Copies of this chain bind each other. A is one copy, B any other.
Amino acid sequence: MMASVTGTGESVSAASLRRLPSYRQYLKVLQGMGREVVSCSHIGQALKLNPTQVRKDLAVTGIVGRPKVGYETEALIEAIESFLGWNNLNQAFLVGVGSMGTALLGYDQFNHYGLKIVAAFDNNPSLIGQKIHGHEVLSLDKLTDLAARMHVLVGILTVPAQAAQSVANLMIFGGIRAIWNFAPAPIEVPEGMVVQTEDLFSGFAVLSSRLAEVMGIRRKAGVNADANRR
């Protein structure tokens, strides 16, 4: 479906990438408990994942383990962070200081994810100039210049869906290279840029469907697939 970005090298599946943060989270818990080494079987048991899968996922970071023992907890955490680039901070702009934007501005752990929100923007005059969780809200029309001047690479998009593309365009003009998009709308960007769209309700759809299943609610005329054929 999608070619490797490097062209020559093998590619890491998005599925593996998405699990890395949960490994790191759990490893930090173990580290806090003073555990110095950990095996894939142990991690797999804790996170309900197949040990082979864990091993394969961790292998992408280049970590090397010891048979009969596992991996050094600290080295593994560092390998994951280094692989994801979370060991040094990227500056980020956030646009849309509403419910979602405010929540993200209030999240005090971004530095653990290699991210530092350095400015917030909105187009609502009554918000501009206010301080939200320590970040002054700036006017949207300052975004492009400021992004270019500060060499900001990451933009966080928390505006309504219908405004998403127009704000994204400002980010693109400002030289931002990666957009973390919380609006449930696809964003068009030029080659060489990254968009990650988070649709919160995609997860909720899974929950809804599974809930309907366990509650025994029939959702479709003829649950039996064969009976449904004409």
CB pair A2–B178 under 8 Å, yes or no, is no
- Taking the complex as formed, is A216 at the interface, i.e. its CB lies under 8 A from any CB of chain B? yes
CB pair B99–A209 under 8 Å, yes or no, is no
Residues of chain A in range 197-219 having any CB-CB distance to chain B below 8 Å: 197-219
CB pair B217–A85 under 8 Å, yes or no, is yes
> Chain B's nearest CB lies how many Å from the CB of A101?
9
- Taking the complex as formed, is A47 at the interface, i.e. its CB lies under 8 A from any CB of chain B? yes
> Chain B's nearest CB lies how many Å from the CB of A157?
12
Q: How many copies does the complex hold?
A: 2
CB pair B219–A207 under 8 Å, yes or no, is no
Contacts of A186 in B (CB 8 A): 22, 46-48, 228
CB pair B201–A113 under 8 Å, yes or no, is yes
Interface with B: A12-20, A66-74, A137-145, which one? A12-20
Q: A4-B224, A6-B222, A7-B222 are in contact. List 6 more A-B contacts (CB 8 A).
A: A3-B223, A12-B220, A180-B207, A186-B228, A196-B204, A199-B230
Residues of A within 8 A of B (CB): 1-14, 17-22, 25, 46-48, 60-62, 82-86, 90, 98-100, 102-104, 106-107, 113-115, 153-154, 161, 177-178, 180, 184-187, 189, 192-230
